[in-house]
Structure 1
Amino acid sequence: MPATPDHHHYQNPLHQSSFASLGRSILSIGRDQVHAMEGNFNDQDQELESFQKQVAERFHDLASAGPDDLLSIAWIRRLLDVFLCCQEEFRAILFNCKGAVGRPPLDRMIVDFFERCVKALDICNAVRDGIGQIRQWQKHMEIVGCALDANRQRTLGEGQFRRAKKALTDLAIGMLDERDASSVLAQRNRSFSRNNTGRDQRHVGHFRSLSWSVSRSWSAARQLHAIGNNLVAPRNNEIAATNGLAVSVFTMNSVLLFVMWALVAAIPCQDRGLQAHLSIPRHFPWAAPILSLHERIVEESKKRDRKNSIGLLKEIHQIERCARRLTELADSVQFPLTEERELDVKQGVQELEQVCDVMKEGLDPLERQVREVFHRIVRSRTEGLDSLGKPNYSE
């Protein structure tokens, strides 16, 4: 009988070639998957590093502003542009890391960030109210300018100065907190020799009702405190568990807090307060410029002529200075005007008109930017909560 082949040891060369080929293909697929995963991680790392770098560069640019530019309408608009750019890049990071945002501890961090965003929406509303309030001041200033403009009037007599005094009184009332208005009204009335305290008291309440859409109990200071509450840098284990995404969340939280704080510092808001503490470790590349700006704004608020200001916006300070100068002129004027006094009035009106021109050009774009910040936050929050499978409740 012919010998039968040993089936346990015999291998067909064709089968041997096929198995070898299959083995190589499996190893090749495995290597490709590893390389793809490494590529994804590298792409994510680059995206996160780029975000940190971009935030740092933008705030370094803001921090380079000189004392004449800081807190001006133009500077606040640049600040809002920076926020919108940072927010859009952060939104892209969350979109590109959808798989990670739903896992702990990142899911909790994202939800906390969106809850802070709700508080920021209230501040945006209050800031828009404040911009509307500045517009009211602008109208009073324009009346003053028309009344005392020597180029428009044949002569500057008592009638023109009475009209200017009335507008300056309304401006003074508008630029006071409601709690301070009553005490100052008596001084203004005595100064202008008008016995109309009752009418002006009604004016205070009426002005406030037109200006503020937030409730009387709402507080910008408390809202800022709520945004900054429990905002701490991520620990090393949280950074590792989230592949670095926790750092981006903390960065965006810090940007949100600083921008809202700067808006409240600059624009009239109900119950303003600048006590918000920024707890930012200095090893973050964007920490130095933000902390520098924070310190400069706080120092500005401590200046003697800014302590009781309703807002630190540069143009508000210019309004206060112009109004004070023209009020002093109006209170001391005697008729007929001397050439020297008429020149003083003309210079005061020119300065006032320059401020009005800046506000005419800047307030509308500023308000549109605040509105855009509001809508962009809402859209990002809605998308983020949807990706987490969370209900989108607003507070």
Structure 2
Amino acid sequence: MPATDCQGSSPAPFCNLNRPVVSIRRDQAIHSMDADNVSGSELEVDLEAFQRKISDRFMELSSGSDELLSLAWIQKLLDLFLVSQDEFRVALFNNQSQLQKAPMDRLIAEYYERSVKALDVCNAIRDGIEQIRQWQKLIEIVLIALDDRRMLCEGHVRRAKKAVIDLAVSMLDEKDSGSALAHRNRSFGRNNMKDRTLAHFRSLSWSVSRSWSAARQLQAIGNNLYAPRGNDIMSTNGLAVLVFTMSSVLLFVMWALVAAIPCQDRGLQVHFPLSRQFIWVGPMTVLHEKILEESKKRDRRNACGLMKEIHQIEKSTRLMNELLDSIQYPLTEEKENEVRESVQELSTVFETIKEGLDPLERQVREVFHKIVRSRTEGLDCLGRTHGPE
């Protein structure tokens, strides 16, 4: 997703906004367009409300009905980021006069630098979504071959068996080598369009280099991210807390995406500099610990992604492979029923992925574009603020 994709559709910079997109005031009133008119007490209320909303959203994610790391859960996580980013943008707009003052100028510049690093993570995640689509195609072959309206003849079973093996090998490759996906996809270059299948392959793997590492990128996003000191909070009227909060949200969301979805050189050992003095830290820590616990389970330890549906594919593929291996002709009714049940399980996860992948990819695109727009608008406004009157 190149940054230039956003140009032409970008809204007016936040320093020229006539009306904020999302109000973060407790009473939902529209802010004054002159940041100097915002009193210290009003700003304090705004910042407290922002942190409370972040806390409530993470609380909902940690205790909601959607299962952890499912497609539906990941979509809610991205919604959390998008709404929070809008509110962050409005808060900066309403306090423009503070942005040019030290240490706020440094803190906001560091946030924009972190957000740029997050763009590569978004591209890598879209590569992972495309890889799941390739698994989806193999699952579809199995479902067609073993359709319950057909007799389980030997030819159909052989076709399903080949697709199951291809699927298992593809998922195993991702476990054995984090860079395998990038190496395979790169051979599907834009010039190699003779094969119709490859022509429809929409991977964006050329957006990151072969040496790119999701683990190292996450570490770079979290580098030098520390809770603000008291004097920084005082000198910025509390805005240092706003930037730290949004930086922590950015890091957590990117970390959770890398945990859930296959991407190049996944790794979860990232330091989260969380301090109990902020109300959102508790629910964020709960989620962090739950995801780490999931990654340490015996059957998830070497998974190519912790997304719930990926785990279901792995389990169903193993069962289907064992069943097809055990088939002997003439087929017994008991064995046929076992195969039909296994096909139904595979069909269920297939439908979930079929319905959820496109909306998920659109959200990842939206996160990418929103980060680009917010950074462009912020730097543009800072440039105007620093420029001659």
Question: Into which bin does the TM-score normalised by the smaller protein fall?
Answer: 0.7 to 0.9
Deviation at 1:208, TM superposition (A): 6.3
Out of 161, 166, 169, the residue aligned to residue 165 of structure 1 is 161
Kept in 2: contact 1:102–1:387 (CA 8 A): no
Number of the residue aligned with 1:372? 366
Number of the residue aligned with 2:240? 246
Is 1:59 matched up with 2:58? Answer: yes
In the alignment, the residues of structure 1 paired with residue 283 and residue 294 of structure 2 have an alpha-carbon distance, to the nearest angstrom, of 16
Number of the residue aligned with 1:99? 97
Superposed counterparts of 1:217-296, under 5 Å: 217-296=211-290
In the alignment, the residues of structure 1 paired with residue 182 and residue 128 of structure 2 have an alpha-carbon distance, to the nearest angstrom, of 16
Superposed counterparts of 1:15-34, under 5 Å: none
Number of the residue aligned with 1:148? 146
In the alignment, the residues of structure 1 paired with residue 302 and residue 143 of structure 2 have an alpha-carbon distance, to the nearest angstrom, of 25
Q: TM-score, normalised by structure 2?
A: 0.82
Deviation at 1:347, TM superposition (A): 0.4
In the alignment, the residues of structure 2 paired with residue 244 and residue 179 of structure 1 have an alpha-carbon distance, to the nearest angstrom, of 44
Kept in 1: contact 2:125–2:258 (CA 8 A): yes
Number of the residue aligned with 1:46? 45
Aligned residues: 332
Number of the residue aligned with 1:75? 73
In the alignment, the residues of structure 1 paired with residue 73 and residue 184 of structure 2 have an alpha-carbon distance, to the nearest angstrom, of 32
In the alignment, the residues of structure 2 paired with residue 261 and residue 310 of structure 1 have an alpha-carbon distance, to the nearest angstrom, of 15
Number of the residue aligned with 1:6? none
Out of 86, 89, 104, the residue aligned to residue 87 of structure 2 is 89
Q: Amino acid of the residue matched to residue 325 of structure 1? A: L
Kept in 2: contact 1:123–1:220 (CA 8 A): yes
Kept in 2: contact 1:157–1:335 (CA 8 A): no
Number of the residue aligned with 2:192? none
In the alignment, the residues of structure 1 paired with residue 173 and residue 244 of structure 2 have an alpha-carbon distance, to the nearest angstrom, of 35
Kept in 2: contact 1:326–1:348 (CA 8 A): yes
CA root-mean-square deviation: 2.0
For the pair shown, the structure with the greater C-alpha radius of gyration is 1
Deviation at 1:180, TM superposition (A): 3.0
Number of the residue aligned with 1:317? 311
Is 1:113 matched up with 2:111? Answer: yes
Deviation at 1:205, TM superposition (A): 5.7
Which digits, 9 at most, give the CA deviation of each residue in 1:63-119, with x for residues without a partner? 1036x7100000000000000011110000111111101110000000000000011
In the alignment, the residues of structure 2 paired with residue 180 and residue 125 of structure 1 have an alpha-carbon distance, to the nearest angstrom, of 21
Which digits, 9 at most, give the CA deviation of each residue in 1:120-144, with x for residues without a partner? 0000000011001101100100100
Is 1:362 matched up with 2:356? Answer: yes
In the alignment, the residues of structure 1 paired with residue 109 and residue 185 of structure 2 have an alpha-carbon distance, to the nearest angstrom, of 38
In the alignment, the residues of structure 2 paired with residue 367 and residue 266 of structure 1 have an alpha-carbon distance, to the nearest angstrom, of 14
Deviation at 1:177, TM superposition (A): 3.3
In the alignment, the residues of structure 2 paired with residue 283 and residue 129 of structure 1 have an alpha-carbon distance, to the nearest angstrom, of 37
- Which has more helix, going by share of residues? 1
Q: Is the alpha carbon distance of 1:157 and 1:207 closer, same or farther for their aligned partners in structure 2, counting shifts above 3 Å?
A: farther
Q: Is the alpha carbon distance of 1:369 and 1:109 closer, same or farther for their aligned partners in structure 2, counting shifts above 3 Å?
A: same
Is 1:341 matched up with 2:340? Answer: no
Number of the residue aligned with 1:127? 125
In the alignment, the residues of structure 2 paired with residue 375 and residue 86 of structure 1 have an alpha-carbon distance, to the nearest angstrom, of 15
Identity %: 62
For structure 2, the 5+ residue unaligned runs are 1-34, 189-202, 385-389
Q: Amino acid of the residue matched to residue 109 of structure 1? A: L
Kept in 2: contact 1:322–1:352 (CA 8 A): yes
In the alignment, the residues of structure 1 paired with residue 332 and residue 286 of structure 2 have an alpha-carbon distance, to the nearest angstrom, of 49
In the alignment, the residues of structure 1 paired with residue 185 and residue 325 of structure 2 have an alpha-carbon distance, to the nearest angstrom, of 25
Number of the residue aligned with 2:200? none
In the alignment, the residues of structure 2 paired with residue 78 and residue 316 of structure 1 have an alpha-carbon distance, to the nearest angstrom, of 18
In the alignment, the residues of structure 2 paired with residue 292 and residue 116 of structure 1 have an alpha-carbon distance, to the nearest angstrom, of 24
In the alignment, the residues of structure 1 paired with residue 82 and residue 183 of structure 2 have an alpha-carbon distance, to the nearest angstrom, of 36
In the alignment, the residues of structure 2 paired with residue 281 and residue 166 of structure 1 have an alpha-carbon distance, to the nearest angstrom, of 52
Q: Amino acid of the residue matched to residue 42 of structure 2? A: D
Kept in 2: contact 1:178–1:208 (CA 8 A): no
In the alignment, the residues of structure 1 paired with residue 146 and residue 69 of structure 2 have an alpha-carbon distance, to the nearest angstrom, of 29
Q: Amino acid of the residue matched to residue 81 of structure 2? A: F
In the alignment, the residues of structure 2 paired with residue 175 and residue 239 of structure 1 have an alpha-carbon distance, to the nearest angstrom, of 47
Q: TM-score, normalised by structure 1?
A: 0.81
Kept in 1: contact 2:117–2:220 (CA 8 A): yes
In the alignment, the residues of structure 1 paired with residue 229 and residue 183 of structure 2 have an alpha-carbon distance, to the nearest angstrom, of 50
